[in-house]
Amino acid sequence: MGKNLKVHLVVIDGQNDFMGNDDGTPYSVKLEGGKALTSTLPVKGAVSDMKRLAKMVDRIGPKLEDIHATLDSHRVIDVAHAGMWRDENGKSPNPFTLITSNDISNRIWTPRNPNLRQRMLDYARALETSGNYLLIVWPEHCLIGTWGHNVQADLAESFLRWERTQYANVDYVVKGTNPYTEHYGALMAEVPDSSDPSTQLNTAFLGVMQDADIIGFAGEASSHCVLTTLKQVVQNIGKEHLKKFHLLTDCMSPVAPAPGTPDFPAIADQFLKEMSVEGMTLTTSTEFLR
């Protein structure tokens, strides 16, 4: 590898609330007094993914020009959280409930703030015509200021070691602060808001990736935020840049399917195959930059 190659690492949402153990149980950290902090939207295998990724960061740290880590950042009242919605009896939807434009039109589900009804109806319709995921209610996750919003400990410690040895700072890319649109992808929200630049195409981040020579790509979940980010990359970066992406398949995992939801693992597997056809390299944390 040439000495002057610009090697970047992109890590999508390596945060506590997405961390799941290898058996699918939530990641948990015990505090003094017996209280525990527990992930709210665990992705099976994500803890092991982040441990492998942390080891890789330590191994290749001197070769990395930059690290970009996205931070999913939400509020309690969010379009994809139960607190936004109510049925005719005032009850909030259960996690993993799909909400369609017909549901909103027929008042099966309606925003608790009646002034948002038309906006949410328009939003659901926009999702349905976009070909992206429909509106789904997730457990509250990555709430700003909470433990769940923090980067998983092994990965965070590797970031700090890199910063202290390379005299550089990790580039944290915040997404999801607008409560009226989902924001899976790092480059833009599912339905961009014309009045909120944070939901629109992140041209600065796109430009950084265009300027890099080699990009390692990892994070959670392969079925959602990783998948959507890569879709946005393919749509916006220019075909000549796709060959620089190296997808670390042992550092990403899909959301497990729930009753009534799509087969997320199958979607992720198929998508990775499609990215390979586009010119991206499928590799692992132990093979990258060997």
AA identity, residue 36? A
Mean pLDDT of 213-223: 98
Domain annotation covers residue 143: no
Helix ranges, 68-142 (H):
101-105, 117-130
- 98/207 same-domain check: no
Calculate the alpha carbon distances from 222 to 30, 40, 142, 166, 246 in Å: 28, 17, 17, 29, 14
- 16/113 same-domain check: no
- 174/219 same-domain check: yes
Give 3-state DSSP helix, strand, coil % of the chain, rounded to 5: 40, 20, 45
- Domain region containing 261: 7-44+55-74+154-283
Q: Number of folded domains in the chain?
A: 2
Domain annotation covers residue 242: yes
Q: What is the pTM of this model?
A: 0.95
pLDDT of residue 18: 99
DSSP single-letter state for residue 144: T
Tokens read off for 171:
């580039």
User: Is the pLDDT confidence value at 3 over 80?
Assistant: no
- 40/173 same-domain check: yes
Tokens read off for 248:
């670390």
- 160/252 same-domain check: yes
Mean pLDDT of 11-37: 96
Mean pLDDT of 55-63: 98
Residue 149 CA to its chain's centroid (Å): 12
User: Is the pLDDT confidence value at 1 over 60?
Assistant: no
Q: What is the mean pLDDT of the chain?
A: 97
Domain annotation covers residue 166: yes
Give the CA angle between residues 54, 152, 252 to the nearest 5°. 65
Digit-coded pLDDT (tens) for 180-191: 999 999 999 999
- 184/228 same-domain check: yes
Domain annotation covers residue 147: no
Domain annotation covers residue 167: yes
The span from the CA of 156 to the CA of 143, in Å, is: 18
Mean pLDDT of 244-251: 99
Mean pLDDT of 48-68: 99
| Per-residue confidence band for 4, with pLDDT thresholds at 50, 70 and 90 | confident
- 102/63 same-domain check: no
Name, in order, each residue with C-beta under 8 angstroms of 73's C-beta and a sequence gap of 6 or more.
Answer: 142, 144, 149, 174, 175, 176, 177
pLDDT of residue 132: 86
Domain annotation covers residue 39: yes
User: Is the pLDDT confidence value at 20 over 70?
Assistant: yes
DSSP single-letter state for residue 109: S
Mean pLDDT of 198-220: 98
Name, in order, each residue with C-beta under 8 angstroms of 43's C-beta and a sequence gap of 6 or more.
Answer: 18, 19, 20, 220, 221, 253, 254, 255, 256
- 34/118 same-domain check: no
Name, in order, each residue with C-beta under 8 angstroms of 81's C-beta and a sequence gap of 6 or more.
Answer: 74, 137, 138, 140
User: Is the pLDDT confidence value at 134 over 80?
Assistant: yes
pLDDT of residue 262: 87
User: Is the pLDDT confidence value at 119 over 90?
Assistant: yes
Closest CA to 135 of 78, 61, 214, 177: 78
Mean pLDDT of 168-179: 98
- 126/202 same-domain check: no
- 99/182 same-domain check: no
- 106/62 same-domain check: no
| Per-residue confidence band for 82, with pLDDT thresholds at 50, 70 and 90 | very high
Tokens read off for 258:
């729930």
> What CATH number is attached to the domain comprising 207?
3.40.50.850
Domain annotation covers residue 49: no
Burial of 195 (0-12, 13-18, 19+ CB in 10 A): exposed
**Residue written as tokens 């590797």?**
158
- 110/206 same-domain check: no
221: cis peptide before it, omega within 30°? yes
User: Is the pLDDT confidence value at 100 over 80?
Assistant: yes
